[in-house]
Amino acid sequence: MAASPTTDEVLVAWTTVPSKEEAEALAAGAVAAKLAACAQVEGPIRSHYIWEGQAQAEEEYRLTFKLATTQEPALRTWVHGRHPYAVPQWLAVPATHVSPAYQAWLLGIR
């Protein structure tokens, strides 16, 4: 596990869920709890993956979260606690080119 960040920067994080209703609930809940400044729902998308040694293909909905780096552990824990999958996708990457006004807005949401 990576060390906790010492300064706030912007992260973009993703997960996928099997239904629009689950995606909307996670997006709205994360924003209401101020764990993310923004959450977007995209889909349906078609995902192809290996699960238990077999190729699978399913319709999913992608959630994109925008948040401060210091919020990532809490958001990840919150999402995983409500996630329907046994092994939820969780990818979070730093946003390296963020407009100052957007960053100020995003970091002000807490």
The CATH number for 10-107, chosen from 1.10.3720.10, 3.30.70.120, 3.40.30.10, 3.30.470.20, is 3.30.70.120
Query: Considering Cα of 9, then 98, then 80, then 31, what sign does the dihedral take?
Result: positive
The pLDDT value recorded for residue 7 is 65
What is the pTM for the complete model shown?
Answer: 0.91
| Helices marked H in 57-99 | 72-82
Written as tens digits, the pLDDT of the chain (110 aa) is 444 444 689 999 999 999 999 999 999 999 999 999 999 999 999 999 999 999 999 999 999 999 999 999 999 999 999 999 999 999 999 999 999 999 999 999 87
Pick from 98, 75, 77, 94: which is nearest to 27 by CA?
Answer: 75
The per-residue pLDDT for 5 is 45
Q: In angstroms, what CA-CA distances link 22 with 12, 16, 27, 34?
A: 19, 10, 9, 18
